[in-house]
Amino acid sequence: MDADCAHFLNEKLGVCAITSGDPAAVLAAEHYSYDAIGLWHAIKHMPTPWIVLKEASRRLNPDGVLVVAAPNPLAWQARLMKGRRPHFDLPRHLFELPINWLVTFGGKLNLTLELVTTRDKGSLYWNRFSWGLLLRSLSRNPRVQDRLWRLGLQVGRLLEPWEGREGHGATYTIILRRSA
């Protein structure tokens, strides 16, 4: 939804990026089909993610992929932090879609699972980031917040043996492929 970001993607990188508060309507009105559609930490902000997923699947070429990255509601830290979890970010985050739900729903849209991981580089960073945000939230003093942030990143590093296990990370990345 950031016009400057979309402009950069279009002009500098040659990526087709559209600025809209209603991505389902944009996809429904689209006349093109794509080899790849990415919903990178975006689906959690959408009021009707199932409609966006449906429209995205309709716009994929045969063998095209839909890449979705989002918070993992079944993450180890989600169970531990509960309502204080930084990814539980109401009202900005409207949904947390479990991996199994997304895979099952994708199957109904003729999408097959190509990859699912909570261990990609971004997901592993989000584990540490979440601990940093949680500890930083314990103070209003900027100096103390900075120290707590750094301490939280270290806590995240220490917890990596638990959180770094596949399926337990703070976020996931899923690739679904449209059948040929």
Domains in the chain (CATH in brackets) are 3-120+165-178 (3.40.50.150)
pLDDT of residue 156: 95
pLDDT of residue 104: 97
What pLDDT digit, counting tens, does each position of 84-129 carry? 887 777 677 678 899 999 999 999 999 999 999 999 998 899 999 9
Nearest CA to 107 among 174, 176, 36?
176
pLDDT above 80: residue 42 = yes
